[in-house]
Amino acid sequence: MHPAIHLTLVSLIQQVLVGLGKTTTLFIVSSGLTLVLGVLRIPNISHGALYMVGAFLAYSITRMLGGGAAGFFASLLLAPLAVAFLSLLAERFLLSRLYERDHLMLLLFTFALALIFDDLVKIVWGSGYRSLPLPAMFQGSFSFLGLALPRYSLFLLCVGPLVAIGLWFLINRTKIGKISRAAAVHREMVGAVGINVGWVFAAVFMIGCFLAGLGGALVAPTQSISQGMDASIIIEAFLIVIMGGLGNVWGALLGSLIFGLTDSLGVLILPQFSIVFPYAAVIVVLLLRPSGLLKSAW
């Protein structure tokens, strides 16, 4: 094979892998957002802030447990759990009192929540940024047929499908998933058959926010953990959710794939303008399918 072609093929495969790794975090975050949007009908602007809280928590937990692989894996579970707990408090004491109000009110309220979580991060971690090294087992790349595959991307590639399968199971096979699907469309009737919708909403909100925290914990060792990391993710997540169809978890998966892959492949084509590609993809998708790729729950 001609060396130049070989080189581009290699970099193509590597970029696809990097893109799929990015897809995983995008999918985890945006599936949580879309779940809450579909079932509770709340566009949760604080989702990005919770992702950031997840990242900072993952930093602290990993540090506290010695900074090694054990700390990293523990943080993958504990940070999202803590975020879920935080969101449960916000839901039970604040949000649950507002379900009767109109969407604008809920939107403004979650915006307020985002500001509160932002300040919480400032109070606890200060305004500087943190960074967390990857655990040794995920550093560097794995050579395979002359390809250098980043180990952490491979790891993310395993986590993504696990989360997707977990969500599929939750939505289709568990009672709470079935109730959520019913409540997404006929909230009132779910109450009228004797189901306490309030607790179903609390559980779904908690699961959605758990996913935000998990996303944050997964990116923590790959980028600088800083104030402001919530702003970019929330924009990306909302674009993905809109692209995939509001409230549709599989739409979020498709949207994340498009967003993640165009992002990483754009680097190969026009490195200076690579940031434009995912947004251009969103525009193309929405021009072709204004209501999103898959069925919207709204």
Partner 1 sequence: MLKVDGIDTYYGLGHILHSVSLTVKRGEIVCLLGRNGAGKTTTMRSIMGLTPPRRGSILFKGEPILGVKPFRISRKGIGFVPDSREVFADLSIEENLEISERRFEGRVFWDREKAYELFPALKKICSRKAGCLSGGERQMLTIARALATNPDFLLLDEPTEGLAPLVVAMLVEKIAELRSFGLTVLLAEQNQKVALGLSDRAYIIDNGAIRWHGAVGELRENEAVRKKYLLV
Q: In the chain, what is the straight-line distance between the N-terminal and C-terminal CA atoms, in Å?
A: 52
Q: Which stretch binds partner 1 (CB under 8 A): 24-32, 58-66, 180-188, 258-266?
A: 180-188
* Residue with Cβ nearer partner 1 (174 or 224): 174
Q: Give 185's contacts (C-beta < 8 A, 6+ positions apart).
A: 297
Separation CA 15–CA 66 (nearest Å): 32
In the complex, the smallest distance separating the C-beta of residue 294 from partner 1, rounded to whole angstroms, is 13
x-or-dash string of contact with partner 1, 130-169, rule CB under 8 A: ----------------------------------------
* Residue with Cβ nearer partner 1 (64 or 189): 189
Is residue 182 part of the contact set for partner 1 (CB under 8 A)? yes
In the complex, the smallest distance separating the C-beta of residue 188 from partner 1, rounded to whole angstroms, is 6
* Residue with Cβ nearer partner 1 (39 or 239): 39
Q: Which stretch binds partner 1 (CB under 8 A): 28-36, 81-89, 124-132, 173-181?
A: 173-181
Q: What are the helix (H) ranges across the chain?
A: 3-39, 47-64, 69-93, 103-125, 151-173, 175-185, 187-192, 197-219, 229-244, 249-269, 276-288
Q: Give 255's contacts (C-beta < 8 A, 6+ positions apart).
A: 26, 30, 239, 240, 241, 242, 243, 244, 285, 293
Is residue 192 part of the contact set for partner 1 (CB under 8 A)? yes
Is residue 2 part of the contact set for partner 1 (CB under 8 A)? no
143 phi and psi, to 5 degrees? Answer: -90, 135
How far is residue 53 from each of residues 31, 202, 223, measured CA to CA in Å? 18, 19, 14
In the complex, the smallest distance separating the C-beta of residue 257 from partner 1, rounded to whole angstroms, is 24
Q: Which stretch binds partner 1 (CB under 8 A): 16-24, 51-59, 66-74, 192-200?
A: 192-200
Task: Label residues 248-274 b or e (16+ Cβ within 10 Å = b).
Answer: bbbbbbbbbbbbbbbbbbbbeeeeeeb
Separation CA 44–CA 210 (nearest Å): 13
In the complex, the smallest distance separating the C-beta of residue 200 from partner 1, rounded to whole angstroms, is 10
CB 59 within 8 A of CB 132: yes
- Single residue of 8, 196, 223, 232 touching partner 1 by CB under 8 A: 196
Is residue 36 part of the contact set for partner 1 (CB under 8 A)? no
x-or-dash string of contact with partner 1, 69-108, rule CB under 8 A: ----------------------------------------
In the complex, the smallest distance separating the C-beta of residue 183 from partner 1, rounded to whole angstroms, is 9
Separation CA 83–CA 269 (nearest Å): 38
- Single residue of 13, 168, 181, 267 touching partner 1 by CB under 8 A: 181
* Residue with Cβ nearer partner 1 (183 or 206): 183
In the complex, the residues that contact partner 1 under the rule CB under 8 A are: 175, 178-179, 181-182, 184-186, 188-197
